[in-house]
Structure 1
Amino acid sequence: MHVDGMKRRHFLTLAALSSVAAACGADSPADAVRPAGKPAFRTRLRIPPLLEPKAGKDGVRRFDLTMQRGRTAILPGALAGTWGFNGSFLGPTIRASRGDRVRMAVTNRLQEASTVHWHGLRLPAEMDGGPHQTIEPGATWTPHWTIDQPAATSWYHPHPHGRTATHTYRGLAGMFIIDDDRPTGLPERYGVDDIPLILQDKRFAPDGSPAGDPLKGTFGILGDHMLVNGTYGPFLEVTTERVRFRVLNGSNARMYHLSFADRRGFHVVGNDQGLLAAPVPVDRISLTPGERVEIVAAFAAGEQVLLRTLSGSDDIDEGDFDLLKIVAAPRLAASPPLPARLADTAPITAPPGARVRRFRLNGHDAINGKEMDLSRIDEVVPAGATEIWEIENTVYAHNFHIHEVALQVLDVDGEKPPAYASGHKDTVYVPPKSTVRLAVRFGRFTDPATPYMYHCHILRHEDSGMMGQFVIVRPGTEDRTPRTIAAHHM
């Protein structure tokens, strides 16, 4: 079951962006290392380490992150300059549970200002890590909050206005896993049968360093080397009959159409904001930048299979890429059956007469005809509201991310989303010349002076101005809320 009847173009267009971007002035292949055939898959998949918190007498779990420069051999024998958290490339996995009080200490050892956004986390605006929470070189930012949301796979990455694409492309990204106390029956041993997969595409200069200008062309970078957890040509040995994969599209622009080479079926068990009510059987799924999905796949002892991204256009053949070779051990530990029910995930339903907000995506640098302005509040939302947001895309492919919220796709041009993408999300694909309707549930943190963001998560577009700001306020105070703010640290 590919897309449950949704128009194929809705899930196929963005995969063709590489060819379009080349025609629009994206990086020239002559300036980068081209892959010499398919990777050999001889490098063991790197599993990002878990970041161990420091526990204080006050019960707060403290996590230390440092943004830093380093050198990494992404390609064999080519040591090149990269950026990372607590290391030279990417970052550790942060893991916390619902009810935890957490405090981050994020230190900037780069030579320019940046931020760290907790993508998918429900938290106060001043802790969100958007472009207003700038961390200057040498400074440390210490956001703190209480985890209060269902188990989910989230992530963290930079969000400086105009520089997000560059900072993320250089290597600043990591996973943030949230647990809760509800037993699921799913695989849960991190690095054993619960595996993070951060998918990225890169182009490389002759010295092996990531190449190209993330702000050039219509879509920015679309690479020809596929990385998983920063590993090129990786293999993973599995030792259990079933494995849970937490998949993050950490690319700047690429859409992935994921399938196993033998077209075996697997199950989707979670979307961006948490588990589905029940597993959904599929043999192919699609992910745009910033989206996450949790899947469970079954393996037989001694077998090998490739995870790949498939060509996704009826008009322009983007080409297929193999991502990860999975090698099953000669003997596999038994796994419990996949549960029939996963979570009490109720649909997000807007009440009768709910506010409808409409957003029009213009080109690659404006929403509703306006480029991003850090001093302008575009929308004012009452705390705890559930609204309908209609996202109209007038041109080529986009996607849409809203900070702080949980949302559900109601329809795309009147058609329901596929079952595997019908859960709670925070980032959605908006196909070319289509309208996506969302039921959006907002949190209860109020702050009329500090905004959250909504934006296209194709990072070239975000940096070019396809972003807006909203504040959450005490109900009844919307009309009294100022529509301008002083930009913080800008």
Structure 2
Amino acid sequence: MSRWKRVLIILGSVAAVFLAAVGSLFVVLWSGAEVSTVGKVEFRNELKVPPLAKSVVEKDGTRVFDLRMQAGTTEFEKGTKTPTWGFNGSYFGPTLRAARGEKVRVRVSNALGEASSVHWHGMHVPARMDGGPHQEVAPGKTWTPNWKVDQPAATLWYHPHPHGKTEQHVQRGLAGMFLIDDARATALKLPKRYGVDDVPVAVQDVSFDGAKFDHGKVFLQNTGFLGERTMVNGTLDPYKVVGDELVRLRLLNASTARIYDFGFGDDRDFALIGTDGGLLEKPEAMKRVQLSPGERAEVVVRMRAGERAVLRSFPQSNYGDGFEQRFAGGDDSFDVLELRAAASLRKSPGLPGALGKLEVPQEKDSVRGRFFGLRMSGINGKKMDMGRVDETVTRGTAETWTVRNEDGVPHNFHVHDVQFRVLAVDGKPPTGALRGAKDTVFVPGGSTVKLAMRFDGPADPDTPYMYHCHLLYHEDLGMMGQFVVVEKGQQAGRPAAGDHAGH
């Protein structure tokens, strides 16, 4: 008996030491998981403003752009060259700009060593022009989508969408903005001089391992890439000198997994004037705007002569449970961009009281509802299959989609081709930026959102659009489904496995 007692005492001691070690390790990991650059950024680099893409207008009025996906090196820090990808350059891409009613054609060439694609995020386009995984472009080939711009003025963007590799391709630098103008927005007295008082602000989080991009912290979380620094338009530690009283920032969360809650370091108010799908009906005074990957917001901030204002991302409390909050980035904070007002500022007219009218349906317009359960294992229990049509919708009809986060991991939900109205969040009316037209919405752990959207076609039973989580690691794991738009009474076809040839 004494021998067994000794064995049990030894085993108990070993177990106690093991549990103590594990507990200590967890405490260390917990305390070290929070990331903050607040007060630590020197803002020593002038913000790069992506150039407006050159275009030519053909005799029939079609505006033609050229985009070239290519590899290169970029000096984010002086003297250190980092291998990167970009459009028409080594990192990121030019800003495309077109007006409502224009016909657009983009010649997309692939100079990379592998297939990729270009998706027009937020754009209403025919399915064959959407740039999803079915429209991959093989190395050395060119894809030339064309469409007529038919949506309100908005801040959109473009990025790759290859099946299973989207996070990697975006992280390497393939992204850019696409701005839509229309007569109503142009007539409004809003800041509109590109790069002067109307500034693109594409925010990405990064980590560096020497001259190479690292994959960020991944231990104890399954969100995807989470970097320890941020950059704007490919600029580390950026500042922007401004010469106007009112400055419009077109915020884009171009990160692959990180969620930001933007505001200013001195907690000043700003005016939210636009969301994913365009202008709000009227400006709304706010102190914070939360953007998950893929979401956009247009804000206007008032500056005083000679002052500095720091755009900051604040900690957030709506990720789900405490574990996800800590290890998926909810407790993190970043100093993102410093605005430096000139010694004297040009006068800016006050913001208009009315901006426009949302072109998204109400719930009463819906002819049917659908449910989408989000889990790491897939949507509605199914992983993405490029040969399977998951949903079939009728052209010209509106529907209500209910989306629920069922596994507690932070997710969001993006629907190609459409803009939607957020009807409810956990049964309550939407507030803030969720009151505008949206194509991407954050769905925290345990939350449910209801969305109303209309499918205006054109019908194409054989070519699908995507819906998916826009945390790109999740998308690449299979959190994506496909829908086709058909005429009334028409059946869905069978999509091809993918067109990699280019045309």
- Name the TM-score, length of structure 1 as normaliser: 0.90
Equivalent position of 1:149 in the other structure = 151
Matches within 5 A, 1:127-138: 127-138=129-140
Letter of the structure 1 residue corresponding to residue 276 of structure 2: D
Structure-2 separation of matches of 1:35 and 1:305 = 16
Structure-1 separation of matches of 2:234 and 2:448 = 35
Runs of 4+ in structure 1 off by over 6 angstroms are 34-37, 213-216
Equivalent position of 2:84 in the other structure = 82
Letter of the structure 2 residue corresponding to residue 281 of structure 1: A
The superposition leaves residues 168-204 of structure 1 with CA deviations (integer Å, 9 ceiling, x where unpaired) of: 0000000000000111211111001100000100111
Matched, 1:481 2:488: no
| Pairwise CA distance, 1:385 | 1.3
Equivalent position of 2:274 in the other structure = 270
- Of 369, 383, 400, the residue aligned with 1:388 is 400
Structure-1 separation of matches of 2:377 and 2:106 = 32
- Name the TM-score, length of structure 2 as normaliser: 0.87
- Of 210, 222, 225, the residue aligned with 1:206 is 210
Matched, 1:68 2:80: no
Structure-1 separation of matches of 2:447 and 2:275 = 22
Equivalent position of 2:468 in the other structure = 455
| Pairwise CA distance, 1:77 | 2.6
Structure-1 separation of matches of 2:366 and 2:290 = 33
Equivalent position of 2:99 in the other structure = 97
**Count of matched residue pairs:** 458
| Contact 1:401–1:457, Cα closer than 8 Å, also in 2 | yes
Equivalent position of 2:232 in the other structure = 228
Equivalent position of 1:249 in the other structure = 253
Which SS does the other structure have where 1:165 is aligned? helix
Matched, 1:298 2:310: no
Letter of the structure 1 residue corresponding to residue 496 of structure 2: A
| Pairwise CA distance, 1:214 | 9.9
Which SS does the other structure have where 2:466 is aligned? strand
Residues 349 and 302 of structure 1: CA distance in aligned 2, closer, same or farther (over 3 Å): same
Residues 215 and 305 of structure 1: CA distance in aligned 2, closer, same or farther (over 3 Å): closer
Equivalent position of 2:12 in the other structure = none
| Contact 2:263–2:289, Cα closer than 8 Å, also in 1 | yes
Matched, 1:411 2:414: no
The superposition leaves residues 374-401 of structure 1 with CA deviations (integer Å, 9 ceiling, x where unpaired) of: 0000000001111000011111210000
Structure-2 separation of matches of 1:74 and 1:399 = 30
Residues 180 and 210 of structure 1: CA distance in aligned 2, closer, same or farther (over 3 Å): same
| Contact 2:120–2:130, Cα closer than 8 Å, also in 1 | yes
Structure-1 separation of matches of 2:230 and 2:85 = 18
| Contact 2:305–2:345, Cα closer than 8 Å, also in 1 | yes
Matched, 1:424 2:424: no
Structure-2 separation of matches of 1:129 and 1:159 = 7
Structure-2 separation of matches of 1:346 and 1:151 = 11
Letter of the structure 2 residue corresponding to residue 401 of structure 1: H
Which SS does the other structure have where 2:299 is aligned? strand
Letter of the structure 1 residue corresponding to residue 213 of structure 2: P
Letter of the structure 1 residue corresponding to residue 404 of structure 2: E
Equivalent position of 2:167 in the other structure = 165
| Pairwise CA distance, 1:419 | 3.1
Stretches of structure 1 that go unaligned for 5 or more consecutive residues are: 1-21
| Contact 1:156–1:175, Cα closer than 8 Å, also in 2 | yes
| Contact 2:134–2:496, Cα closer than 8 Å, also in 1 | no
| Pairwise CA distance, 1:213 | 7.4
Q: CA RMSD in A?
A: 2.2
Which SS does the other structure have where 1:323 is aligned? strand
Equivalent position of 1:13 in the other structure = none
Structure-2 separation of matches of 1:269 and 1:141 = 35
Q: Using the TM superposition, name which of 172-181 and 319-328 deviates more.
A: 319-328
Residues 108 and 291 of structure 1: CA distance in aligned 2, closer, same or farther (over 3 Å): same
| Pairwise CA distance, 1:40 | 1.0
Equivalent position of 1:435 in the other structure = 448
| Pairwise CA distance, 1:36 | 12
The superposition leaves residues 233-289 of structure 1 with CA deviations (integer Å, 9 ceiling, x where unpaired) of: 000001000011110000001111111111110110001011000001001110000
Structure-2 separation of matches of 1:408 and 1:328 = 36
Please tell me whether Structure 1 or Structure 2 has the larger radius of gyration of its CA atoms: 2
- Of 116, 119, 124, the residue aligned with 1:117 is 119
Letter of the structure 1 residue corresponding to residue 371 of structure 2: R
Structure-1 separation of matches of 2:52 and 2:311 = 24
| Contact 1:250–1:290, Cα closer than 8 Å, also in 2 | yes
Greater per-residue helix proportion: 2
Which SS does the other structure have where 1:381 is aligned? strand
Equivalent position of 2:483 in the other structure = 470
Structure-1 separation of matches of 2:380 and 2:357 = 36
Matches within 5 A, 1:308-347: 308-313=312-317, 315=322, 316=326, 318-345=331-358
Percent of aligned pairs with the same amino acid: 49
The superposition leaves residues 90-110 of structure 1 with CA deviations (integer Å, 9 ceiling, x where unpaired) of: 000000000111110000000
The superposition leaves residues 114-133 of structure 1 with CA deviations (integer Å, 9 ceiling, x where unpaired) of: 00000000010000000000
Equivalent position of 1:7 in the other structure = none
Letter of the structure 2 residue corresponding to residue 393 of structure 1: N
Q: Using the TM superposition, name which of 147-156 and 418-427 deviates more.
A: 418-427
Letter of the structure 2 residue corresponding to residue 367 of structure 1: I
Letter of the structure 2 residue corresponding to residue 411 of structure 1: A
| Pairwise CA distance, 1:344 | 2.2
Residues 266 and 466 of structure 1: CA distance in aligned 2, closer, same or farther (over 3 Å): same
Equivalent position of 2:361 in the other structure = 348
| Pairwise CA distance, 1:347 | 5.5
Equivalent position of 2:457 in the other structure = 444
Structure-2 separation of matches of 1:394 and 1:379 = 20
Residues 330 and 37 of structure 1: CA distance in aligned 2, closer, same or farther (over 3 Å): closer
The superposition leaves residues 430-470 of structure 1 with CA deviations (integer Å, 9 ceiling, x where unpaired) of: 11012111111222211000000000000000000000000
| Pairwise CA distance, 1:37 | 7.5
Q: Using the TM superposition, name which of 253-262 and 416-425 deviates more.
A: 416-425
Structure-2 separation of matches of 1:157 and 1:259 = 26
Equivalent position of 1:367 in the other structure = 379
| Pairwise CA distance, 1:350 | 3.2
Which SS does the other structure have where 2:433 is aligned? helix
Which SS does the other structure have where 1:351 is aligned? helix
